[in-house]
Structure 1
């Protein structure tokens, strides 16, 4: 199911009015909120790599269940604490995913994210 997250995020972005896509206003996130966001994106990307059998994801514990749970809880927490809309969450997760997809970024954050989420 997590492998569906990124395509769903893209579909949600396409469904937004152009005005919402161009200039979403988002409140500044604190360090913990940024970490929740980046780790949510990391787990979604990592789970997709695991399903594809990518060698770089072989050393990580299975992310399907724990990563999805973290993603859902973190998104809800961000919506509550930072007063973010679903559209803003989609935009922020898309940006984080794009950043983590750059060479080596996902591998660097995954150990920290696994520890934060308690995924073993």
Structure 2
């Protein structure tokens, strides 16, 4: 079930149109929630890269287990905060993952995301 959410966020969501409800929810996110969303997307991208042997992803500590747990917990909390369902959250994560990848920002955000991961207790 969680693999489905991650797969949807990384593979199919970027092709979907953002609904007005999702766009409104995204603009209402707190700065903290935006950071959590950004890091969740970054962990998913790095985990995918590590699983597929991508050199840039392998430079980072293994985030497969802890990153996934952070992702799952954070997205569940964001569902509660925004009222969005899984598809809505997957849309937000997918858009953020696409933005990070398109702008080459994954490597830039990872140091702060690792600090966030450590402070989360996951």
Runs of 4+ in 1 over 4 A off after TM superposition: 1-6
Question: Deviation of residue 109 (structure 1)?
Answer: 0.6
Query: TM-score scaled by structure 1?
Result: 0.80
Residue 54 (structure 1) shift:
1.2
**Aligned mates of 2:20, 2:109 — CA distance in 1:** 26
Aligned to 1:90, the other structure's residue is in SS state: helix
Aligned counterparts of 1:86 and 1:74: Cα–Cα separation in 2: 12
Structure 1's unaligned 5+ residue stretches are none
> 2:54 matched to which residue of 1?
54
Deviation at 1:104, TM superposition (A): 2.6
Q: Give the structure with higher Rg (CA).
A: 1
CA RMSD of superposed structures (Å): 2.5
Q: CA deviation at 1:102?
A: 1.9
Flag structure 2 segments of 5+ consecutive residues without an equivalent. none
> Structure 2 length as normaliser, TM-score?
0.78
Aligned residues: 112
